[in-house]
């Protein structure tokens, strides 16, 4: 299924029903008076979270949503029925903005969240409300009001505890496949991951967290190189980051420390707050000889930056448990003694 994380949508609340002009016509009650009831209120458009949805694709094709209008009032003091609300299921983590003004309207950040995005119009009053001592037989009623109309922009930011970042082919997809049931594509060429992938990582029976695998960055991503930084918004909600680096072969000749510095530079350009998020750095593919041999020197270089460099292999499981423990401590710090 195609992944869509941004779209525009027009929503309109239901129109209120018209009030009624009617009079009592009972045989033995002369001058029965007005009996026109009120129109029903229009339905609201409501956004709620659906844990089964992972993309805005359905809404991207829908374009417009309108709630049900209220029924008109009738005679014999009968009020019109209110219009049914239209509940729209969106992925968890969807943010709602007014497309015309840019105003932030709602953040669907929990499964319990329900937000009225467009209110239905008020129903018009029937002529029973307009009888006075001067005009005992009013022949006018109010029309129903139109529902609220909005042009929206929806942005999806996936809900994850840990964001997994790194350059292409450092083993991010292999790692998240090894520690969770997420199944991103794995291949020996760059940009095999084209959309974010979420995986639930279970450390033991009582501890788990959600990890997001983000498509690989390259130098110049903030200027649009490669996949650009279009997916970095999906790690803005995370509490901590995992940076994977590795030692490339002689043909590529990249330095892991330079890769890390470049990655941090791209994060800083995108969001200084995100770049300052707690992080763990790991050297992946430890099962390969050309990666393991320079680990000691790389560890010392990172130590000078006051960063502990972990050594892991998703293929053999080496160092994986210790790395997950470090991530758990970052996103769930121990309670203070105060």
Reply yes or no on whether the pLDDT at 133 is more than 80: yes
Name the DSSP class of 256.
H
Confidence of residue 177 (pLDDT cuts 50, 70, 90): confident
DSSP 124-152: PPPGGGS--SS-SS----PPPPPPPEEEE
Question: What are the pLDDT digits (tens) for 19-51?
Answer: 999 998 877 777 778 999 999 999 999 999 988
**Extents of the domains making up the chain:** 6-156, 162-331
Q: What is the CATH number of domain 162-331?
A: 3.40.50.300
313/290 Cα distance (integer angstroms) = 13
CA distance 85 to 18: 18
Distance CA 222, CA 229 (A): 6
Q: Give the pTM.
A: 0.72
Do residues 146 and 121 lie in contact, with contact meaning Cβ atoms separated by under 8 Å? yes
The CATH fold assigned to 6-156 is Spo0b-associated Gtp-binding Protein; Chain: A, (2.70.210)
Tens-place pLDDT, residues 65-105: 999 999 999 998 899 999 999 999 998 889 999 999 999 99
Residue 302 has pLDDT above 50, yes or no: yes
pLDDT, mean over the chain? 83
Residues 46 and 85: beta-carbon distance below 8 Å: yes
Calpha distance 55→308 (Å, rounded): 36
H-run or E-run covering 210 = strand 208-213
Distance CA 160, CA 214 (A): 11
64: nearest Cα among 6, 10, 139, 116:
10
């Amino acid at each position: 299924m195609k992944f869509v994380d941004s779209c525009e949508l027009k929503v309109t609340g239901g129109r209120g029903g018209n009030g009624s002009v009617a009079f009592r016509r009972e045989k033995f009650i002369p001058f029965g008076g007005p009996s026109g009831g009120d129109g029903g209120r229009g339905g609201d458009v409501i956004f709620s979270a659906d844990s089964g949805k992972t993309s805005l694709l359905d809404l991207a094709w829908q374009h417009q949503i309108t709630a049900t209008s209220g029924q008109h009032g009738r005679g014999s003091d009968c009020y019109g029925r209110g219009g049914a609300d239209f509940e729209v299921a969106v992925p968890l983590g969807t943010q709602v903005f007014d497309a015309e003004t840019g105003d932030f309207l709602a953040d669907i950040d929990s499964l319990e969240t329900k937000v009225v995005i467009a209110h239905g119009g008020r129903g018009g009053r029937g002529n029973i409300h307009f009888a006075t001592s001067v005009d005992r037989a009013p022949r006018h009623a109010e029309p129903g009001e139109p529902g609220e109309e909005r042009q929206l922009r929806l942005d999806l930011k996936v809900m994850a505890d840990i964001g997994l970042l790194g350059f292409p082919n450092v083993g991010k997809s292999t790692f998240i496949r090894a520690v969770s049931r997420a199944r991103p594509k794995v291949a020996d060429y760059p940009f095999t991951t084209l959309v974010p992938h979420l995986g639930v990582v279970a450390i033991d029976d009582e501890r788990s967290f959600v990890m997001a695998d983000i498509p690989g960055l390259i130098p110049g991503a903030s200027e649009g190189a490669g996949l650009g930084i279009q997916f970095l918004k999906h790690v803005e909600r995370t509490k901590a980051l995992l940076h994977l680096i590795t030692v490339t072969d002689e043909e590529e000749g990249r330095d892991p420390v330079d890769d890390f510095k470049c990655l941090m530079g791209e994060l800083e350009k995108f969001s200084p707050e995100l770049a300052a998020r707690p992080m763990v750095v790991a050297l992946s593919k430890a099962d390969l000889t050309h990666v393991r041999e320079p680990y000691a020197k790389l560890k010392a270089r990172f130590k000078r930056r006051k960063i502990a460099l972990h050594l892991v292999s998703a293929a053999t499981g080496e160092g994986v448990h210790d790395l997950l423990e470090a991530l758990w401590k970052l996103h769930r710090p121990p309670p203070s003694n105060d």
